[in-house]
């Protein structure tokens, strides 16, 4: 895995750019743990102050420091993406690998359930759930809800890879040696699809962040919890655009664009690396 990362850093600027931005956001998220303000409280600082040394991005109409709120929002949005992606990856990996390897009736049952989740219109369902649970919709709860609906496409993708690996000689050798199904899947098959899992996970995080921003802008999340989406929501509610409070409205928008762009570049870079033709070109360059 470390060799793959080194190759991508060396040959693909998209990967290095995306990784740099993502690491920067993770560092900001860690710094936000030391915020001197309660970002759920209002009027902790004077309202509508312009940028200054004390408040580098100024303050908003809610009496909150924009810089610190942005840092906390980045932390919460990344945490949401991590929770939702981790849960959906666990479901997708377990069901995809088992269905692909075992086949038969188990595969048909799993894929029937999987396809049911694919054809469900997720956005209206999430709107309904969010509107019902809005008062208790914490980052963890929202992450679990989104994660439970975000695994179906990737489970089918992982299954297709296992269907190919199952027919290879090393799998047949493992079966003849008496190796258990769980060990074959975890030690023989899983290492082959780790880059694919990584690319799919990044795409899933992009989807999760986009879904959170959409739900928050519709007022269907816990609006007291700072996230990229809730920052945009409150800026729009206080008419930051019409009042030309660009430091308030543009900060979360730029952060959202940079984060999604970085994740997208990481995903496309890894996806291209998985293409045998791209890897062959890298070998020739070396």
Query: CB-based burial of residue 21 (10 Å sphere; 0-12 exposed, 13-18 middle, 19+ buried)?
Result: middle
What pLDDT score was predicted for residue 46? 93
Contacts of residue 260, defined as CB under 8 A and 6 or more positions apart, other chains included, come to 206, 209, 210
In this prediction, residues 139-164 reach a mean pLDDT of 90
What pLDDT score was predicted for residue 283? 46
What pLDDT score was predicted for residue 6? 67
* Nearest C-alpha neighbor of 196 from the set 123, 96, 270, 104: 270
Q: Return the minimum-mean-pLDDT range out of 93-97, 142-146, 171-175.
A: 171-175
Domain spans, the chain: 2-24+51-285
* Nearest C-alpha neighbor of 62 from the set 83, 82, 40, 31: 40
In this prediction, residues 146-171 reach a mean pLDDT of 87
In whole angstroms, what is the distance from residue 165 CA to residue 189 CA? 7
Which pLDDT tens digit goes with each residue over 74-123? 999 999 999 999 999 999 999 999 998 888 888 899 999 998 888 888 88
Please give, one letter per residue, the 3-state secondary structure of 175-193: HHCCCCHHHHHHHHHHHHH
In this structure, are residues 100 and 163 in contact, taking their beta carbons and an 8 Å threshold? Answer: yes
* Nearest C-alpha neighbor of 102 from the set 49, 19, 163, 21: 163
In whole angstroms, what is the distance from residue 245 CA to residue 172 CA? 65
Please give, one letter per residue, the 3-state secondary structure of the chain: CHHHHHHHHHHCHHHHHHHHHHHHHHHHHHHHHHCCCCCCCCCCCCCCCCCCCCCCCCECCCCCEHHHHHHHHHHHHHHHHHHHHHHHHHHHHHHHHHHHHHCHHHHHHHHHHHHHHHHCCHHHHHHHHHHHHHHHCCHHHHHHHHHHCCCHHHHHHHHHHHHHHCCCHHHHHHHHCCCCHHHHHHHHHHHHHHHHHHHHHHHHHHHHHHHHHHHHHCCCCCCCCCCHHHHHHHHHHCCCCCCCCHHHHHHHHHHHHHHHHHHHHHHHHHHHHHCHHHHHHHHHHC
What pLDDT score was predicted for residue 5? 64
Q: What is the CATH number of domain 2-24+51-285?
A: 1.10.3720.10
What pLDDT score was predicted for residue 63? 93
Tell me the pLDDT of the chain averaged across its residues.
87
Which pLDDT tens digit goes with each residue over 17-33? 898 999 999 999 999 99
């Amino acid at each position: 895995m470390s060799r793959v990362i080194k190759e991508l850093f060396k040959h693909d600027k998209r990967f290095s750019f995306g990784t740099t931005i993502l690491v920067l956001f993770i560092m900001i998220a860690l710094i936000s743990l030391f915020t001197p303000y309660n970002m759920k409280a209002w009027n902790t600082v004077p309202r509508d102050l312009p940028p200054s040394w004390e408040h580098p991005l100024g303050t908003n109409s809610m009496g909150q420091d924009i810089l610190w709120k942005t840092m906390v929002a980045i932390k919460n949005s990344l945490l949401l993406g991590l929770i939702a992606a981790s849960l959906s990856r666990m479901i997708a990996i377990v069901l995809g690998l088992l269905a692909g390897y075992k086949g038969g009736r188990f595969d048909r049952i799993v894929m029937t359930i999987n396809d049911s989740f694919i054809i469900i219109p997720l956005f209206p369902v999430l709107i309904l759930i969010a509107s019902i649970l809005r008062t208790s919709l914490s980052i963890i709860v929202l992450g679990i809800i989104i994660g439970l609906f975000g695994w179906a496409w990737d489970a089918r993708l992982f299954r297709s890879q296992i269907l190919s690996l199952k027919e290879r000689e090393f799998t047949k050798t493992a079966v003849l040696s008496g190796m258990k199904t769980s060990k074959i899947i975890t030690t023989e098959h899983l290492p082959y699809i780790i880059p694919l899992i990584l690319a799919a996970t990044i795409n899933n995080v992009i989807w999760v962040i986009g879904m959170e921003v959409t739900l928050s802008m519709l007022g269907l999340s816990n609006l007291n919890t700072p996230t990229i989406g809730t920052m945009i929501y409150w800026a729009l509610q206080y008419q930051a655009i019409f009042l030309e409070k660009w430091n308030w409205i543009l900060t979360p928008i730029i952060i959202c664009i940079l984060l999604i762009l970085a994740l997208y570049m990481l995903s496309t870079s890894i996806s291209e690396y998985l293409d045998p033709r791209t890897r062959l070109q890298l070998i020739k360059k070396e």
